[in-house]
C-alpha cells in the first residue's frame, strides 16, 4: 500500500491520471490542488529548478 501521501488523499490520488491536478476543498473552505505521488514528485523537481 502506497504511503507517500496522506491517506485522506488516497481516493483523490486515484483520480490523478496523466498529470491531472486534483481539486480538494479543505476544512478552511479553500481550494487546494493536490497531485499524486508521481505528479507531485515532478512538480517539486520543476519547482526546485525554477527557484
Is 25 a member of any domain?
yes
Is 2 a member of any domain?
no
**Structural domains counted in the chain:** 1
User: For 3-42, what is each residue's pLDDT tens digit?
Assistant: 455 555 555 555 555 555 555 555 544 545 555 555 555 4
| Cα(3)–Cα(32) distance, integer angstroms | 20
3-state DSSP helix/strand/coil % of the chain, to nearest 5: 40, 15, 45
pLDDT of residue 24: 52
Is 33 a member of any domain?
yes
Is 31 a member of any domain?
yes
Is residue 25 a contact partner of residue 31, using CB atoms and an 8 Å limit? yes
Is 22 a member of any domain?
yes
pLDDT of residue 5: 53
* Integer angstrom CA distances of residue 49 from 9, 20, 25, 34, 43: 26, 21, 29, 20, 10
Is 37 a member of any domain?
yes
pLDDT of residue 35: 53
Determine if the pTM surpasses 0.85: no
Cα distance between the two ends of the chain: 33
Is 1 a member of any domain?
no
Is 11 a member of any domain?
yes
pLDDT of residue 43: 47
Amino acid at each position: 500500500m502506497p504511503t507517500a501521501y496522506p491517506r485522506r488523499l488516497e481516493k483523490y490520488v486515484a483520480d490523478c491520471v496523466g498529470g491531472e491536478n486534483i481539486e480538494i476543498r479543505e476544512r478552511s473552505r479553500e481550494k487546494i490542488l493536490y497531485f499524486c505521488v508521481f505528479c507531485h514528485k515532478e512538480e517539486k523537481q520543476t519547482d526546485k529548478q525554477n527557484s
